[in-house]
Amino acid sequence: MKIGIAKEIRDKGLEKRVILLPCDVKRLAVAGHEVFVEKGLGERIHISDDEYQRAGAKIVSDRKEIFAKDLVVKLRPPLPQEFNLLGNNLLFCMLHPQQNPKRVAALKKQKCKAVAMEMIRNGASERLVHCTEMAGEQGMIMTFHLADKIPVESNVLVLGYGAIASGAMKVAFNLGADVKILLRHEYPQIKHFIRNKDIVVNGLHWPEEKRQKKEYLITKDMLSLLNKGAIILDLSVDHPGPIETCHPTFLDKPVYEVCGIRHISIVGYPGLAPVSSAGIYSRQVLPVLLKIAATPFEKLPGYIQDAAINAI
């Protein structure tokens, strides 16, 4: 199969990650696939085009050529102008189609199939491609960097206790912050628990029925209960989610303010540690990619078919 690996152009060049490192590109080449890498793919994390060439890839300057290959691989969802470069081929990337129906419509328009890598799960419903805990860690590190207090003087309230919230809690605990995890039965008393907090961390997956009804756990009028200079760290980046004033942000403008409270809600927190997250994604993606590249679309195994979007 001819595989095109595209460079990320989101966030004004601040998105530095790559989906495959040279060592894993070599595995694809050894398996007999032709790999085409967009020129400058890894330059932002100090990987030269020569390294990809030595791994067996061909360097391509024309983006149209990359997006015309049998299998197009990238990390982030395509931008509108990138969707327009696709055709009757297969796209493999993060897509989040349920939250972004316009992307499914764009695939249909281009008659392109896709596999959403974030939807690939094992038999225990665990994601096979993710940097979830790292996302929580990086978000918490950034929050403490921006905070007006040192961690040991900070009162932190955490919503949720999944992998992404656990990453944030690990950093907060290790730096000596006073951390309170909000339990489900405590939701009705939320006004009590957010009072005098310096940091609120949202790691909740907000149910679809609550999102449709725009039901919130923390409303805009409750922000006055937080300490002055407080920060809301939204790790789930669901919109609408449990916090009324949260909306997605990006690496070029990660922070905004509402009622004097700073909000962080970055799409792609692992991008704050691009070298580490690129290594994790590359190792996770390779076995899935080898299977996709060697198998007809309609014969892909169930765990991949479940993540497939056949928009034709």
Choices 3.20.20.70, 3.40.50.720, 3.90.45.10, 3.50.50.60: CATH for 2-119+273-310: 3.40.50.720
Q: What is the pLDDT of residue 305?
A: 92
Mean pLDDT, residues 212-225? 95
Separation CA 104–CA 143 (nearest Å):
34
- Domain 132-270: CATH superfamily is NAD(P)-binding Rossmann-like Domain (3.40.50.720)
Q: Which residues contact 208 (CB under 8 A, 6 or more apart)?
A: none
Query: Quick check: 115 and 297 in contact, CB under 8 A?
Result: no
Q: What is the pLDDT of residue 33?
A: 97
The mean pLDDT of the chain is 95
H or E, element range at 73: strand 71-73
Q: In which residue ranges of the chain is CATH 3.40.50.720 found?
A: 2-119+273-310, 132-270
Report which residue type is found at 261: I
Mean pLDDT, residues 58-79? 96
The answer, yes or no, to whether residue 217 has pLDDT greater than 70, is: yes
Query: Quick check: 142 and 273 in contact, CB under 8 A?
Result: no
The answer, yes or no, to whether residue 311 has pLDDT greater than 70, is: no
Separation CA 249–CA 266 (nearest Å):
5
pLDDT tens-digit series, residues 140-195:
999 999 999 999 999 999 999 999 999 999 999 999 999 999 999 999 999 999 99
The answer, yes or no, to whether residue 229 has pLDDT greater than 90, is: yes
Q: What is the pLDDT of residue 169?
A: 98
pLDDT tens-digit series, residues 98-124:
778 888 898 988 889 999 999 999 989
Q: Which residues contact 78 (CB under 8 A, 6 or more apart)?
A: 85, 86, 91, 93, 103, 106
- Pick the range with the lowest mean pLDDT from 10-14, 91-95, 187-191, 304-308: 10-14
Mean pLDDT, residues 190-209? 95
Please write down the long-range contacts of 210-213, taking CB distance under 8 Å and 24 or more positions apart.
Answer: 210/242, 211/238, 211/240, 211/241
Q: What is the pLDDT of residue 312?
A: 41
The answer, yes or no, to whether residue 14 has pLDDT greater than 50, is: yes
Mean pLDDT, residues 215-228? 97
Separation CA 66–CA 58 (nearest Å):
11
In Å, what is the CA distance from 171 to each residue of 137, 241, 308? 6, 24, 35
Mean pLDDT, residues 33-53? 97
The pairing of beta strand 34-38 with beta strand 58-60: parallel
pLDDT band at 208 (very low <50, low <70, confident <90, very high): confident
Of 191, 204, 282, 281, the C-alpha closest to 236 is: 204
Backbone angles phi, psi at 274, to 5 degrees: -65, -35
- Pick the range with the lowest mean pLDDT from 145-159, 186-200, 254-268, 298-312: 298-312
